[in-house]
Amino acid sequence: MAKEFGADHLVNAAEATPEERISIVKDLTHGRGPDVIVDCVGSPEVFIEGLEMLSNGGIFIEEGAFVETGMAKVSPHRHILAKNARLLGMVNHAFTGYYPSMKLMQKYGKYFPFEKIVT
């Protein structure tokens, strides 16, 4: 489904270790790493994996950990400060976001298969 939404490359988490995934993503970005990561999984391990591959100056958006899933072993220096990383947590949303979201889906529904999204 990611390809249908415009992804240029796919990495199957079931077929690669965290280290391999980080290496693949770094290779695809010429050693830089992604500028933006949106974590919808909510696993402490995936949180760290994302921080490991995030580019310098990148932004990491965590929205998957909407319930307590455990602790993540973060190095404030290596994962955040040395990269000038920005972390943004998002959970829940106001009902006022529904209408603009529905309008967006209506406008771009002919380009993207929104009906396949489970949320």
Q: Each residue of 8-33: pLDDT tens digit?
A: 999 998 999 999 999 999 999 999 99
Q: Both tokens of residue 5?
A: 């939404």
54 domain residue, yes or no: yes
Residue 54 to residue 80: CA distance in whole angstroms: 9
CATH (domain of 36): 3.40.50.720
Count the Cβ atoms, other than its own, within 10 Å of residue 83. 18
Total structural domains within the chain: 1
- Write out pLDDT tens, residues 39-64: 988 899 999 999 999 999 999 999 88
Strands 86-89 and 36-39: unpaired
Segment 80-104 mean pLDDT = 87
DSSP 55: P
User: Do the domain assignments include residue 102?
Assistant: no
pLDDT of residue 112: 87
Give the pLDDT band of residue 90 (cuts 50, 70, 90).
confident
**Which are the contacts of 65, defined by CB distance < 8 A and separation ≥ 6?**
39, 42, 43, 47, 91
**Within a 10 A sphere around the Cβ of 94, how many other Cβ atoms?**
6
The answer as to whether 105 is a domain residue is no
Is residue 107, in this structure, part of any structural domain at all? no
Give the per-residue pLDDT at 53: 97
* Boundaries of domain holding 81: 3-93
Handedness of CA 14, 16, 19, 25 (dihedral sign): negative
Classify residue 104: in a domain, yes or no: no
Structural domain includes residue 8: yes
pLDDT greater than 90 at residue 1: no
